[in-house]
Amino acid sequence: MSRRQLERGAALRGMVSPDGIVPLGADFPADGSGPDSDCHILHLDMDAFFASVEQLRHPEARDRPVIVGGTGPRSVVSSADYLARSRGVHSAMPMARALRLCPDAAVFPPDGAAYRQASEAVMDILRSVTPLVQPLSLDEAFLDVSGARRRLGGPVRIAAMIRERVRSEQRLTCSVGVAANRFTAKLGSTHCKPDGLLLVPTAHVRGFLDPLPVGALPGVGDKTEQTLARLGLRTVGQLARYEPDLLRMELGNKAGTRLAALARGEDDSTVVAETADKSVGAEETFDDDVADPDVVDRELLRLAEKVGRRLRASGQVGRTVSVKLRRADFSTITRSRTLAESTDVAREISAVARDLYAASGLRRTPLRLIGVRVEGVAPADRAHRQLALGEEDSGWRDVERVMDQVTARFGPGAIQSAVLAKRDENDV
């Protein structure tokens, strides 16, 4: 969760009147005819997700603040539990500053595989309720439960059941907002964090929204907030009563129309079931800027192996390889090349990535970050590779699949390319 999201959550908790908001624990009819009868949209947000997963894996850290992130000189906080947040720690904060604020914190490096596994388990619970699940990230999703009501009862009962299953089956907590549209449901989950459930009945949406600061609306950044303040618009209620044509003149037609609608609690967006990834990538930020081409080439190979492994794990292949190269001054370039055939082979991905780096004009330029991405992703069974006449299969796909099996059984680093193994030996 970003600092701005935390500030919005604090504003919600501090300014929203409980009038008109049905409290958690209210008695709702089993037939769904209560005040939630037209509130078929749920927004689920896991509580301090990465940190909570680490607390499960490291019970000895449960009584201490928990921070997830790297420990290098340029590392930042990925996640923090609520105890650490109460001391001022937030995501994207430099780790050095976070540790000054919270010197007794237990710090764990991010473990993407563990978080994905926990996320998939939670999403499986959601999909057992309804196929209309739209994940926004590993730790949050929208659900449309209109089709599940006859089987499971009203939306609030469904939300309560989901929260109980997440707690009992995954030993994690989540917060759920229930409303008639996505926008209000998401604000509801923010308002009731952590570990809460909040229904915003349609009849009371304006009472819920009007006291909020305009910064609580999605799309209102610092610059837009300053523009609205200049117009005397500091609360959502003031914005809702402002002349829409004047708002469009100030913010532009699209942004003005959108904000005016949201301020009135109107949102016609729908829950769209998850679609397949369009790209798969990996990045590396160096502790110190790197100008040595050999080091960059090795890191491109390492990243390509991560990308290839993720493609194979998801049963996908891609056709376009791109690299991201960020200089020390944060200026960034990307280069890409489309292959004749789709691939999930790291050796092929890394060869293209290194060629793109060599042709970038930055071969000896100090780099802060590099990334490798494969785009144009599709299911592997729809993209059979055809060997050219006289071409022999290199066998690398089979080799890498064996490496996948070894890694799955013995963990990362159990087997790797000789080039990377040699680098690691030299670092010892």
Catalytic residues: 140
**Alpha carbon of 3 to those of 85, 101, 133: distances in Å?**
10, 15, 27
Helix (H) or strand (E) holding 133: strand 133-137
Residue 239 CB: number of other CB atoms within 10 A? 24
Q: Do 12 and 213 form a contact (C-beta atoms < 8 A)?
A: no
DSSP 344-374: --HHHHHHHHHHHHHTTT-TTS-EEEEEEEE
139 is in an annotated binding site: yes
289 is in an annotated binding site: no
Environment class of 388 (CB within 10 Å of its CB; exposed 0-12, middle 13-18, buried 19+)? exposed
Peptide bond into 18 cis (omega under 30): no
The span from the CA of 43 to the CA of 229, in Å, is 29
Tokens of 331: 């200026």
**3-state percent helix, strand, coil for the chain, nearest multiple of 5:** 45, 20, 35
Q: Residue 167: phi, psi to the nearest 5?
A: -70, -45
Return the closest-CA partner of residue 355 out of 328, 331, 322, 306: 322
Residues β-bridged to residue 94: 76
* Local structure of 35: helix, strand or coil: coil
The span from the CA of 209 to the CA of 187, in Å, is 9
Give exposure, 71-97, as e/b (b: 16+ Cβ within 10 Å). eeeebbbbbbbebbbeeebbbebebee
The span from the CA of 189 to the CA of 203, in Å, is 18
Residues β-bridged to residue 370: 284, 325
DSSP 235: B
Residue 337 CB: number of other CB atoms within 10 A? 14
Tokens of 181: 């549209």
The half-sphere exposure of 192 on its side-chain side, counting CA atoms within 13 A, is 28
Which residue positions form the known binding site for Mg(2+)?
45, 139
Which residue positions form the known binding site?
45, 139
